[in-house]
Amino acid sequence: MDAILALEDGTIFRGESFGADGERYGEVVFNTSMTGYQEVLTDPSYKGQIVTMTYPLIGNYGINKEDMESRRPFVEGFVVKECSKISSNWRSEKSLADYFKENNIVGIEGMDTRSLTLHIRRVGTMKAVLSTEDLDEESLVQKARDSQGLVGIDLVKEVTCNKKYIWSEIKDKGYKVAVLDCGVKYNILRELLNHGCQVIVMPANTSVKEILELKADGVLLSNGPGDPAAVKYVIDTTRDLMGKIPIFGICLGHQMLGLALGGATYKLKFGHHGANHPVKDLKTGKVSITVQNHGFCVDMDSLNKKDIEITHINLNDQTLEGIRHKKLPIFSVQFHPEASAGPHDASYLFEEFIKMMKKYA
């Protein structure tokens, strides 16, 4: 079936659909990962976005339930050069196309993803519509322009859990960690468990009182989708928790922590989406290869350097990648230390969180 991807600036890409039929809206971005498409699809941070994979062949090792990063896929649409017709892997349980049909995801293949990626790099991320129903170009461009986009929109409420739950019970309970679920990836929870923590996941709108009543040793602010400035209730909660409990922020959690500390955020031209971003630890000089997925960034110059230390920077564009409070038990990173791009370059950050909780227990 024919499919069209239309951008708000009037650019049109034609291809063929795979997966579900329909029409989907979102901000179009590109991801430079060569593998890990299943993790991309099920990362709640991609809510509100149509994702283009720069690697040309996607779906060749199929889909399996063990590699899910959340309860379901959250991408609005998926753009690839070619969707593999076979799934060649001993762990594969179904094809990418079948997975899309089951989860009502619209995909498009057979279009020039290289051209789209270069266009996004030149112009920046844009609102877009992906359709198998309406094939009128002018109509689709107008629909893209009329769609809501991401700025000022709270998408966390659409991906967070409905109620508190324990990720996994362990016999020798180590430190108790309350995870504020803004769209948390399962591998963050797995890493905490691997470090001996009892992990309790809580909805993003959980009150400070409820969090403190858990008598947890630390709070983790998770990753998630959209504009951090739109999630004011989490920013307020974070501000009220400061000084009362150790806090570790990841991705959106890092951005909301920056806002709670009095900083500001801004939208990047085309964001950071991929598994090959070099980040430098300013304390050790070590460079880690990291996984990133964010369209907003904390403004380094907006932070009060008297109280806040810059700990990490992105070596591609010199943007802020990590902060630490000089007096309070608080630190955060923009990248995903659980995602194993290096593969273990950034796992030391979970150990830092354990040390912090031990110190302030």
pLDDT at 172 over 90: no
Q: Is 8 a catalytic residue?
A: no
Looking at residue 100, its pLDDT comes to 97
Q: What is the pLDDT of residues 31-84, one digit of tens each?
A: 999 999 999 999 999 999 999 999 999 999 999 999 999 999 999 999 999 999
Mean pLDDT over 247-260 rounds to 98
Active site annotation includes 83: no
> Which pLDDT belongs to residue 237?
98
Please compute the mean of the pLDDT values over residues 236-244 and round it to a whole number.
98
The H-or-E segment that residue 66 falls in is none
The mean pLDDT value for 103-110 works out to 98
Cβ neighbours of 132 (radius 10 Å) = 21
Q: Catalytic pick from 277, 294, 312, 336? A: 336
Catalytic residue among 182, 197, 251, 297: 251
| Range 354-361, long-range pairs (CB < 8 A, 24+ positions) | 354/174, 354/175, 354/195, 354/196, 354/197, 356/218, 356/246, 356/248, 356/329, 356/331, 357/175, 357/177, 357/217, 357/218, 357/246, 358/175, 359/329, 360/217, 360/245, 360/246, 360/329, 361/175, 361/217
The yes-or-no verdict on residue 170 having pLDDT over 70 is no
In tens, the pLDDT along 268-291 reads 999 999 999 999 999 999 999 999
**CATH of the domain spanning 156-360:** 3.40.50.880
Per-domain residue ranges of the chain = 2-146, 156-360
Residue 344 · residue 289 · CB < 8 Å? no
Cα 38 to chain centroid distance, Å, stands at: 13
Residue with tokens 């007096």: 327
pLDDT computed for residue 91 by the predictor: 95
Distance CA 93, CA 85 (A): 14
Residue with tokens 């460079």: 287
CATH for the stretch 2-146: 3.50.30.20
Kindly state the percentage of the chain with pLDDT values over 70: 98
How confident is the model at residue 361, as a pLDDT? 85
Do residues 35 and 165 lie in contact, with contact meaning Cβ atoms separated by under 8 Å? no
Lowest mean pLDDT across 261-265, 268-272, 275-279, 341-345: 341-345
Per-residue model confidence (pLDDT) at position 174:
83
Q: What is the mean pLDDT of residues 169-198?
A: 90
Q: What is the pLDDT of residues 69-103, one digit of tens each?
A: 999 999 999 999 999 999 999 999 999 999 999 99
pLDDT attached to residue 346: 77
For this structure, is 251 an active site residue?
yes
Say whether 156-360 and 2-146 share the same fold.
no
